Amino acid sequence: MGSTATPPQAASLPAYDADLTQCSVSGLSSGAFMTVQLHLAHSAMFAGAGVIAGGPYRGAESFRDASPIAEDAYVQNAYFVCMNPLIAQAGPNPERLAELARQTARDRLIDPLALADQRLYIFTGSADKVVDSKVVHATRRFYELLGVKPANLMFVDDVPAGHAILTTNPEDNPLEANRPPYISRWDRPHMQSWDILRHIYGPKLKPPASHTTGRLLRFDQREFFGGQSRASMSACGYVYVPTAVEQGARCRIHVVLHGCKQGANYVNMINGRADSANSPPYGRRYVTSTGYNEIADANDLVMLYPQVEGRDDGVTQNPEGCWDWWGYSSLDAAHPDYYSKNAIQISALHAMLQRLGGH
Partner 1 sequence: MAPTGARPEDLVKAQVRVAKAMQFDPAHSRRLPLPLLPVARAAKAQSLWAHLAGSQGLQAWQAACAAPALALDFGAAREALAMAEAVATRCMGLQAQWLEGLTELGQEMGELLQTNTVAKYVAQESNLTQQVLALVSSQVAAAAALFENTQLDVAWWLHQRASARG
Nearer to partner 1, 151 or 315 (CB): 315
169 — phi, psi (to 5°)?
-75, 125
**What does DSSP say about strands 311-312 and 317-318: parallel, antiparallel, or unpaired?**
antiparallel
In the complex, minimum distance from the CB of residue 91 to partner 1, in angstroms, rounded to a whole number: 8
Q: How far is the CB of 319 from partner 1 (least distance, A)?
A: 14
**Binding residues among 57-76 for partner 1 as defined by CB under 8 A:** 62-63, 65-69, 72-73, 76
Among 2, 27, 50, 85, interactor with partner 1 by CB under 8 A: 85
Binding-site member from 17, 19, 99, 313 for partner 1 (CB under 8 A):
313
Backbone torsions φ then ψ of 173, nearest 5 degrees:
-65, 160
Taking contact as CB under 8 A, which single stretch among the options 48-56, 246-254, 279-287, 308-316 is the one that binds partner 1?
Answer: 308-316
Q: Are the beta carbons of 311 and 319 closer than 8 angstroms?
A: yes
Burial class (CB within 10 angstroms; exposed 0-12, middle 13-18, buried 19+) of 203: exposed
The distance of closest approach from Cβ of residue 166 to partner 1 in the complex, given in angstroms and rounded to an integer, is 24
Pick the closer one to partner 1 by CB: 67 or 133. Answer: 67
3 is a site residue for partner 1 (CB under 8 A): no
359 is catalytic: no
Q: How far is the CB of 86 from partner 1 (least distance, A)?
A: 4
Given 29, 232, 234, 329, which residue is catalytic?
Answer: 29
Rule CB under 8 A: say whether 315 interacts with partner 1. Answer: yes
Active-site residue, 312 included: no
Beta carbon nearer to partner 1, 17 or 72: 72
Minimum separation from the CB atom of position 321 to partner 1 (A): 19
Rounded Cα distance between 120 and 257, Å, is 16
Stretch that binds partner 1, among 53-61, 119-127, 194-202, 311-319 (CB under 8 A): 311-319
Alpha carbons 260 and 262: distance in angstroms, whole number: 5
The residues facing 308 across adjacent strands are 233
Taking contact as CB under 8 A, which single stretch among the options 33-41, 82-90, 180-188, 294-302 is the one that binds partner 1?
A: 82-90
Strands 301-305 and 236-241: antiparallel
Among 52, 81, 98, 233, interactor with partner 1 by CB under 8 A: 81
By CB under 8 A, residue 79 contacts partner 1:
yes
Which positions from 90 through 149 interact with partner 1, judged by CB under 8 A?
Answer: 90, 93
Tell me whether residue 275 is one of the annotated catalytic residues. no
Among 107, 314, 332, 335, binds partner 1 (CB under 8 A): 314
By CB under 8 A, the count of residues binding partner 1 is 24
Q: Which of 26, 42, 62, 128 is catalytic?
A: 128
User: In angstroms, what is the minimal distance from the CB of 87 to partner 1?
Assistant: 5
**Shortest distance, position 5 Cβ to partner 1, whole Å:** 10
- Residues forming contacts to partner 1 in the complex (CB under 8 A) are 62-63, 65-69, 72-73, 76-77, 79-81, 84-87, 89-90, 93, 313-315
Q: Which residues are catalytic?
A: 29, 128, 163
